[in-house]
Amino acid sequence: MIYVIGHKNPDTDSICSAIGYAAFKSALTGEEFVPARAGELNPETTFVLKRFGAEAPVFLESAAGKDIILVDHNETAQAVDNVAEANIREIIDHHKIGDVQTKDPIYFRNMPVGCSATIVYLHFTENNLAPDKTTAGLLLSAILSDTLAFRSPTCTEMDVKTADALAQIAGIEDIQGYAKEMFKAGSELAGKTPKEILYLDFKKFTAGDTTYGVGQVTSMDADELAELKGTMTEYMNSSFDEHGVDMLFLLLTDILDESSEMLCAGKNADETVQKAFTSAEEGRYYLKGVVSRKKQVIPALTEALS
């Protein structure tokens, strides 16, 4: 049995690409590929699975001794526990090349596109296969999620074309309307603790000797984001020692304004943001045009920290 698994704090792409790639591999080989997850589902993904009638992947607590395929990441810090003791069979990703190592040569397909699901769909078409209606709906949702419905600078023409093809199979006529519905379900923050909000979509990175974590909350509701500023800044400072990082960042991304507000905590975190983004002023980091953690924030922070 081979597990297909995305990163910790799974987002819609990590869950849906795991399901989609497992379906593809099973269809291609007739063998058993099991979609898995390295953490709890977020509200957006919960909505998506329900919308298309799909089951959540199985929770994998440890990858030790297991055969696994990684999707949507290739960094040890983001992977399921004990990934170093797993047999990694393949990697399908769209991020910078990280530090995951293997003993043998493997199939490693990394493309600079907006979403892993775009690469998953490519595997179907390259092999004259097609995803079923449910899988197509999941892969479409992943693309809309990762590209902020085509607004992110990470989005490519291939993502848009793939989303169109998937929408046809899934029977979604109004793509933007569906995206709006999905984002709304995903930014349902009422009743969530600051800790839950920070970890909704959170990734750890290392640059030199510095380990830092970057969370992101995306919303179409500017008021909701404005409310978070005070509570989250306070929480990040008061709970700082719990998170096991040198610096903590949180992006409050306004999808419609195509901008982000950056909150930070930790020694030198302010200086790092100011160095990374020349437009940032002390105490208020309004970053116009910045919506992508991967393409706009991580490279700038890594550069500032080196």
| Residues binding Mg ion (CB under 5 A) | 11, 13-14, 72, 116, 146
Nearer to Mg ion, 72 or 261 (CB): 72
Q: Which is nearer to Mg ion, 269 or 291 (CB)?
A: 291
Nearest approach in angstroms of CB 146 to Mg ion is: 4
- Report in angstroms how near the CB of residue 76 gets to Mg ion at its nearest: 15
Which of 266-270's residues contact partners 24+ apart within 8 Å by CB, and which partners? Answer: 266/212, 266/240
- Between residues 118 and 134, which has the closer beta carbon with respect to Mg ion? 118
What is the rounded CA–CA span in Å between residue 153 and residue 287? 14
What is the DSSP annotation of 32-99? Answer: -EEEEESSPPPHHHHHHHHHTT-PPPEE-S--TT-EEEEES---GGGSPTTGGGSEEEEEEE-S---S
Least separation in angstroms between CB 270 and Mg ion:
25
C-beta nearest to Mg ion: residue: 13
Neighbouring residues of 274: CB distance < 8 A, sequence distance ≥ 6? 280, 282
**Residue 268 CB, nearest distance to Mg ion (Å)?**
26
Measured between alpha carbons, how far is 98 from 76 in angstroms, rounded to an integer?
Answer: 8
Choice between 29 and 60, CB closer to Mg ion = 60
- CA-based nearest residue to 164, from 175, 154, 156: 175
Give the nearest distance from C-beta 45 to Mg ion in angstroms. 11
Nearer Cβ to Mg ion, position 146 or 246? Answer: 146
